[in-house]
Amino acid sequence: MNLTFLNKSFPLLDSKKDRYFLILFCFAFSVLFINLFVPFNINRWFSDSALIQFLRLSSYGFVVAIVLLFSQFPLRKFFGVQAFSIKTFALWFVLEISTTSLVYIFLYGNPVGNFVNDFFFSLRYTFLGIALPYSVALLIIYYKTQRSELKELKDTKNEASGLISFKDEYEKIRFSIPADHVILLESTDNYVSVYYLADGKEQRTLIRNSLKNFENELDKRGFIRCHRSFIVNSRNIEFVEKKGKKILIRMQHADKVIPVSEKYSSRFLSFLS
């Protein structure tokens, strides 16, 4: 049972973006925490001026960041660690703490003295100093991952039910509607006008968001960007007319004639063929 648990995947640091976040968070937290709270009376370990003391205390956080940067990128690549299990992550964390402790000894201690005693002394304080920001960073990554997975699950359910959810710039759903009922989207300054069919009539709802954000999500749902200001629903295209170099679209249930700009014309024609 315990072995099964230890062999489970630990995906929180699979993404390079999440690894960079871990490193930056631990660095920022360490610098602020050490300078504000001076744990273990670390400010008394050396006798120096205020500025030198700030730089020295901040250097502890810098060492943490360098070690984590090395362990999470070149070292993982060298050992071929693409993804962690719980067991390998625990071992890797111990390796990071141990390496940081050794660096501290060579930078701030006396490696030719009582090395074993100094190492365990450094190891204890290093663990106490790094464990908190490391854990908080992982909790933030976990929360972000859960939110992303929940969003994907909702989007999958909506897609299966034929609904499209329109969100504002804060990712809050403003309304959901069957995909067939959406006519087109039009960009108006910092807003997007969503034209749709309700009770047999064309309706419009204004949402504060960008057309680019909607384009990424709607592209796989049969919608096509035809102009910097328009995305149209291919299901509701009534006809497409070419006049010289101009391409015009008339939509069902709408009075607008939508132009296809030169930038999007080849992609639009390829989509229709």
- The per-residue pLDDT for 40 is 64
* Judgement on whether residues 149 and 228 belong to the same structural domain of the protein: no
User: At which of 124, 155, 186 does a domain end?
Assistant: 155
HSE at residue 121, side-chain half, CA atoms within 13 A, is 13
Q: Is residue 105 part of a domain?
A: yes
* Judgement on whether residues 13 and 133 belong to the same structural domain of the protein: yes
C-beta separation of 184 from 233 below 8 A = yes
Give the CATH number for residue 247. 2.40.50.1020
* Judgement on whether residues 13 and 97 belong to the same structural domain of the protein: yes
- The per-residue pLDDT for 41 is 67
- The per-residue pLDDT for 156 is 66
Q: In what order do the strands lie in the sheet with 246-251?
A: 237-243, 246-251, 257-260
* Judgement on whether residues 46 and 137 belong to the same structural domain of the protein: yes
Q: Is residue 220 part of a domain?
A: yes
- The per-residue pLDDT for 89 is 95
- The per-residue pLDDT for 54 is 81
* Judgement on whether residues 235 and 151 belong to the same structural domain of the protein: no
Q: Is residue 19 part of a domain?
A: yes
- The per-residue pLDDT for 238 is 92
Among candidates 206, 218, 203, which has minimal Cα distance to 254? 203
Going from the C-alpha of 46 to that of each of 54, 56, 239, the distances in angstroms are 12, 9, 80
* Judgement on whether residues 8 and 135 belong to the same structural domain of the protein: yes
C-beta separation of 122 from 101 below 8 A = yes
pLDDT band at 39 (very low <50, low <70, confident <90, very high): low
Q: Looking at the predicted structure, is the pLDDT value of residue 42 above 90?
A: no
* Judgement on whether residues 43 and 124 belong to the same structural domain of the protein: yes
Q: Looking at the predicted structure, is the pLDDT value of residue 63 above 90?
A: yes
* Judgement on whether residues 150 and 178 belong to the same structural domain of the protein: no
Q: Is residue 61 part of a domain?
A: yes
* Judgement on whether residues 26 and 93 belong to the same structural domain of the protein: yes
- Mean pLDDT for 166-190 is 90
Q: Ranked by mean pLDDT, which of 16-20, 51-55, 253-257 comes out on top?
A: 16-20
* Judgement on whether residues 128 and 179 belong to the same structural domain of the protein: no
Q: Is residue 168 part of a domain?
A: no
* Judgement on whether residues 18 and 67 belong to the same structural domain of the protein: yes
Is the pLDDT higher at 116 or at 84?
84
User: At which of 125, 155, 185 does a domain end?
Assistant: 155
Give this prediction's pTM: 0.60
* Judgement on whether residues 135 and 219 belong to the same structural domain of the protein: no
Q: Is residue 126 part of a domain?
A: yes
- The per-residue pLDDT for 160 is 56
Q: Looking at the predicted structure, is the pLDDT value of residue 195 above 80?
A: yes
Print the SS3 string covering the chain: CHHHHHCCEEHHHCCHHHHHHHHHHHHHHHHHHHHHHCHHHHHHCCCCCHHHHHHHHHHHHHHHHHHHHHHHHHHHHHHCCCCEEHHHHHHHHHHHHHHHHHHHHHHHCCCCCCHHHHHHHHHHHHHHHHHHHHHHHHHHHHHHHHHHHHHHHHHHHHHHHCEEEEECCCCCEEEEEEHHHEEEEEEECCEEEEEEEECCEEEEEEEECCHHHHHHHHHHHCEEEEECCEEEEHHHEEEEEEECCEEEEEECCCCCEEEECHHHHHHHHHHHC
Q: Is residue 254 part of a domain?
A: yes
User: At which of 127, 155, 183 does a domain end?
Assistant: 155
- The per-residue pLDDT for 129 is 86
Lowest mean pLDDT: which of 59-63, 87-91, 146-150? 146-150
What tens digit of pLDDT does each residue of 137-176 get? Answer: 999 999 998 887 777 676 666 665 578 889 999 888 898 8
Which domain does 248 fall in, by range?
Answer: 174-272
Count of domains observed in the chain: 2
Q: Is residue 54 part of a domain?
A: yes
